[in-house]
Amino acid sequence: MRLPFIGLLVTLLASVNASLVQKRAAVDDCLVAAGVPTDIPGSTDWKYDVAPFNQRFNYTPVAIVVPTNVQHIQSAVSCAAKVGVKVNPKSGGHSYAAFGLGGEDGHLVVELDRMNEVKLDPETNMSTIQPGARLGHVATSLYDQGKRAFSHGTCPGVGLGGHALHGGYGFSSHTHGLALDWIQSATVVLANATVVNCSTQENADLFWALRGAGSSFGIVTSLQFNTFEPPPVMTVFTAELPWGNAEQAMASWTVLQNWTQNSMPSEMNMRVFGSSVGAQLQGLYHGELSALKTAIEPLMTLLNTSLTEVDETDWMGGFTSYAYTDDVDLSHPYNAQETFFSKSLLTSALPEEAMQAAVDYWLDNAHSTSRIWYVIIDMYGGKNAAIPKVPGEETSYAHRDKLYLYEFYDRQFFGTFPANGFDFLNGWVDAFTTNLDTTQWGMYINYADPTMDRTEAQENYWRQNLPRLQRIKADVDPTDIFYYPQSIKGSNLA
């Protein structure tokens, strides 16, 4: 009785495969005619460029374009539109859900990591950077060219484009804000293959959308950042947290929360790092050790702990300390892969019931898993933090008012990730959110969670800014060519 259904399924699969083959041939013909460089399937470059950071995802694009100029990108977008395939920019390939590869088979991937130039204007201290520059290369180049910097993350292999356009949190964000807060203008290839410049003075709606949800709206080919002069001395520090039982953890976290909200100086950048072996404070102070000690000793006393490791260094030393390598000036070829599941969360200050539920889950459930996991709780907000000082409506980034940014990370070192492994982190996040209302929490797309569908993801990533983003999407990409499974869906398609 099931044979007709099976036969129909086989026919449908054959039809889909034939369609992909036809589209691949049509795209290839168009790209060749336009003189656009591409990876040859099966070549060494193809293998590098198609390799996902998260090995849970292996997708096959119809083509991988490797542009070296804006015209190549325009032609690639034009070819994709003619054939009817979706297009995705891939700056560094660190998407936790492989969205740079489309998040599914059959997309045209624009591999940007050969477009990685970093230029600093010595007169204005403005930097012009191509999106394929990796963060280690950005930090090294700006420091070498003029002892300049802007706020961004610490993973050296992450591409600037996706990182900055969706937030860009790092160990200077409490002091200097997010990477997207330093963007002054952008050059973008749109869905109709035209090139536009945007800033607060030109194409302002698009500029607003790019700073928080950039990959849904076009392919950014160049970004202009303001920069600052970093302090001559940075201080790296750690301190153990006595979180051996729920009572200790609750008392300690309550103290830390009050201090973060009201007393943490802007120069302090700090997080809780938790794993199966315990919890510790890790931080980077923008200043000398003596100033750090003056600032942090009251907290150490309240927490009944002390600094265990301290190291004075310079800006690049601070960067490499949390890059966990001295070799940070990275470019193509680059290949880093892990097998993992990750979730994100941003919350306001936690009420007692939410904090208690999170602590209980940590101590009762997290320590029972055999995989290697960690949780990072960044001290993200507070009255002295830079992030909430930017008005919430200034960019499409939606989470200015939060106190904490969390990254939950569960890694499988050998073999495939277990089918029942997702329950662990989902349960931990639920322990928070069931005790909060939706105004008190959100999620961060740079730690993408592909288990959410498009509707849920849009709500959690962009909250109050989603309706405006959907209207702008309808204007600049009405056919949804820059689609991936959690991208902004235009209001014309809703």
- Per-residue pLDDT reduced to its tens digit, 332-378: 999 999 999 999 999 999 999 999 999 999 999 887 788 899 999 99
Q: What is the per-residue pLDDT for 1?
A: 43
b/e code 77-103 from CB counts within 10 Å (16+ = b): bbbbbebebbbbbbbbbbbbbbbbbbb
Q: What is the pLDDT of residues 415-427, one digit of tens each?
A: 899 988 999 999 9
Rounded Cα gap, residues 154 and 168, in angstroms: 10
Provide long-range contacts, Cβ within 8 A and 24+ apart, for 382-385: 382/174, 382/260, 382/261, 382/262, 382/264, 383/261, 383/262, 384/174, 384/263, 384/264, 384/265, 384/266, 385/174, 385/264, 385/266
CA 160 to chain centre: 10
Q: What average pLDDT does the structure give for the chain? A: 95
Provide the β-strand partners of residue 347: 404, 441
Residue 368 confidence (pLDDT): 79
* pLDDT score, position 18: 55
pLDDT of residue 3: 47
pLDDT at position 6, please? Answer: 58
- Pairing assessment for the beta strands 268-275 and 278-285 based on DSSP bridges: antiparallel
The CA distance from 85 to 93, in Å, is 20
Q: Which of 62-66, 155-159, 161-165, 419-423 has the lowest mean pLDDT?
A: 419-423
Average pLDDT over residues 88-101: 98
Q: Would you state the pLDDT for residue 12?
A: 42
Pairing of strands 87-90, 108-111: parallel
Task: Tell me the per-residue pLDDT of 217-239, one tens digit each, with 9 for 90 and over.
Answer: 999 999 999 999 999 999 999 99
Rounded Cα distance, 18 and 77, in Å: 22
> If DSSP codes are grouped into helix, strand and coil, which group holds residue 200?
coil
How far is it, in rounded angstroms, from Cα 101 to Cα 39? 14
Q: Is residue 7's pLDDT more than 70?
A: no
The pTM for the full model equals 0.94
Examine the pLDDT at 5 and tell me if it is beyond 90.
no
Whole-angstrom distance, CA of residue 207 vs CA of residue 217: 10
The band of 383, judged by pLDDT with boundaries at 50, 70 and 90, is very high
| φ and ψ at residue 485, rounded to 5 degrees | -60, -15
Per-residue pLDDT, averaged over 312-316, amounts to 98
